[in-house]
Chains A and B, each alone.
Chain A
Amino acid sequence: MTVPLDERRAAFVKSLYGLQAGLDSRNTALRAACRRTLAGLRRGLTGQPGIGAQDIVFRHDPPEGELDAWLLVAGLFATHPNGVGGRRSLGASMFALREKRKDSATRRFEQLLLRDRGGLPHHLRQVIRLLASDGIAVNYAGLLDDLVILLGDGYRGESAHRVRLRWARDFHTGGRAVSAERPSATVTTERPSEETP
């Protein structure tokens, strides 16, 4: 029986967060394996999905139309393996960045809102690096849901507009006021088993 898409997405993000937990493991072999996998995922950002992608991404059977979003999220996570759960969007993370970097974060965020399907992955990588340098966590489950829309066929449609608008709202509130319409995508961190990856 085919696993529902929501569950596949959640399992994928759970695997990523497992890598994050693995980095803190006292098991040196596990730590090294996690680092290797993350390096492989980072290589995916250059358009060459590495061995990590095979284990982490394709294992969860991503739909054809969502593959780009899954690979991008995996690569972004590998760049900045500091994920959180909850329902905050990328706008909330950028809100935290603005607290530290003021206007430059605002300009960066406004540019991010403007990017269409072609320019968004490149700009997102820069934004995630900035967030990484200031140690600001990202909700990758929410980001995956949003990128599926922003990189999908309806990237010019109303849903994409709503995603950007929600990011913009969160950018000004810090995600404290979560919209009721936001789909729930809570992911818990789970330590990977000794055998993985």
Chain B
Amino acid sequence: MTAPFDLITQRWIPVVRLGGGEDEVGLAELFAEAHKIRRIAGETPPMTAALYRLVLAFLHRAYGPEYDADWGDLWKAESFDADAVGRYVNTSGASFDLFDAERPFLQCPELPEAKRSTVAKLIPDRAVGNNVTLFDHTVAGDRVELAPSTAARWLVTAHAYDPGGMKTPATKVKSSKRAPCNGFAVVLVEGRTLKETLLLNASLHDPEDPGDRAAWERPVPGAEPDKRRSGGWTDVLTWPSRRVRLFPTVRAGKTVVAEAVLSPGTELVGELPGLEKMAAYRTPLTPAGRPKPGAPMLPVRLRPVRGAWRHSVELLLVDPWNEERTRQRPVALKELATHTDRGRIPDETVYTLRMFGQQLDKNASVVEAYFEEAVPAPVALIRAQNDTDDENPVAKLVGCAIELADEAGAALRTMQREYHKEFHAMPGESIDLPYWPVLPRPFGRFLRDLNAARAAGRSERRVMDEWQRTVGSTARRVADDWAAAVAVSGRSLSALGKHQAALHKRLRSFSARFEGQIVKYLTKDDAE
């Protein structure tokens, strides 16, 4: 007989305390101690994102907030009302037992027991099925046994991030679409404590809305996959994209999960920009840099090497002319501006925008990479807009800064390509690799300094000049290092010099254009 595992009281969510210590907490403790917890920290970035989404859905169902004033009360309070969790659990009719016989948490008890196989199918970095043995050294023959807490975490992660492809069919249907969060970068505004983080990412929620319910409150789904529209935000946050059944067993007196069934679940019908609030969107641009006419808005996704900071304009900055037309920021950032306007958050605050993503292979069936990135989110910049004009000068300044880095990166690639073309050689490792990863930290400093300059009403000239110097010197240093690594003969060294000289010329022309562009957006002060 296996023991129940109550997700409200049992420890299963990994967190980092304010002092830096790692811990695991249940949902009740998480809310009771949220003001003493720094953040949720899962084993992988997608797990962290999935757990945040689940906890956020729980917050909405247990705490609301229904009205803006309710949000203000929650923000002002030192901690969450710990009793609210118990009240919600008692009245919701939901079961939070992972192994409940009739309503196991986020599972489908109708899945046939005969189809069960290893629980490793829930874990994308284990060698099983399409996942080949790579760095992890696991093989498909390994017997995997998970503690209930670990199994619960991977269960939540699978619903949000399971790749598409063939799954174990309940009867016939075995093809599945990738789980929803694979399609975009989950954006989270991170405060100083978990309480702040949860509230900063919470939108208003009507607990009486019959459609807007979390998955655990809905009827237990049938074994067969289906598709439907979402009933509301908490429904999206806990979307049952898979039918899962965990099979607990007792090993050495302890309950473990060694087997499970992972089957296609419910497909989400609808356009993402209208459904998903934790993502940024933009219309693809033409080569001339203008939004492609008639093209739909696509979610911002994380890519290897280049970094999330390059999307800072789409993520952070309001553009009254383009907002909701060719661009859409994560809802939490819009709400942040509202809370600041109401005096709840000081202008000089700098939060962190944390982004989580997962990249699948071209068949969308195997996980290729996880991403977790952070970008500073200075409140003054998020709020900054020019009511009298179509253009937001801050957005333009940040846009110019990102464009300069993009152009310098492109110039480096051109130098590498032209050099190899001259010798009819195949390019080696991309020169992007040493260039892009250097820039996030200086860019973070740039945003914070820009925020400080605007908050003080100073000209942003010095900050922009510093960024220009950083990009130029980084590109030149990367070009030098690359040249040092290229095997040289007299002719190739001369050719290297030629292409480097062309690079320097391009960098100078970009800098000149940058200076010309930013002049019209700078705040005028005595120094200007």
Interface set of A (CB-CB < 8 Å, partner B)? 91, 106, 109-114, 158, 161-162, 164-173, 177, 179-181
- Please list the residues of chain B having a beta carbon within 8 angstroms of any beta carbon in chain A: 473, 476, 480, 483-484, 488-491, 493-498, 500-502, 504-505, 508
Interface of A is mostly: helix
Cα A91 to Cα B501 with chains together (Å): 12
Residues of B within 8 A of A111 (CB): 490
Contact between A171 and B504, CB atoms less than 8 A apart: no
Smallest Cβ distance from A102 to chain B, in angstroms? 14
Which residue of the partner chain, among B484, B489, B497, B508, contacts A171 with CB atoms under 8 Å? B497
Of B490, B494, B496, B498, most A-chain CB atoms within 10 Å: B494
User: Contact at A114–B500, with CB atoms within 8 Å?
Assistant: no
Q: Please, which residue of chain A has its CB at the minimum distance from the CB of B500?
A: A169
Residues from chain B with a CB closer than 8 A to the CB of A106 are: 494
CB <8 Å contact, A109 and B508: no
Interfacial chain B residues near A168, Cβ < 8 Å: 493-498, 500
**Cβ–Cβ < 8 Å partners of B491 in chain A:** 110
How many residue pairs between the two chains, A and B, have CB atoms under 8 Å in the bound complex? 64
Is there an interface contact between B490 and A169, defined as CB atoms closer than 8 Å?
no
Which of A112, A113, A158, A165 has a CB less than 8 Å from the CB of B500?
Answer: A165
- B493 partner, pick from A113, A158, A170, A173, beta carbons under 8 A: A113
Q: What chain B residues lie within 8 Å of A181 (beta carbons)?
A: 476
Asked if B501 contacts A173 (CB within 8 A), the reply is: yes
Which chain A residue lies CB-closest to B479? A165
Q: Which residues of A contact B483 (CB under 8 A)?
A: 161, 165
CB proximity of A126 to chain B, nearest CB, Å? 15
Question: How many angstroms from the CA of A183 to the CA of B407 in the assembled complex?
Answer: 28
- On whether the beta carbons of A165 and B496 are closer than 8 Å, the reply is yes
Please, how many angstroms separate the alpha-carbon atoms of A158 and B500 in the complex?
16
Contact of A114 among B476, B490, B497, B504 (CB under 8 A): B490
Contact of A167 with B497 in the complex, beta carbons under 8 Å:
yes
CB-nearest residue of chain A to B480:
A162
Residues of B within 8 A of A161 (CB): 483-484, 488
Task: Give chain A residues whose Cβ lies under 8 Å from the Cβ of B495.
Answer: 168
A165-B500, A177-B504 known; A110-B480 Cβ under 8 A: no
Apart from A168-B500, A169-B497: 13 A-B pairs, beta carbons within 8 A: A112-B490, A114-B489, A114-B490, A165-B480, A165-B497, A165-B500, A167-B497, A169-B501, A171-B494, A171-B497, A172-B502, A173-B504, A179-B504
Which residues on B sit within 8 Å (CB–CB) of A165? 480, 483, 493, 496-497, 500
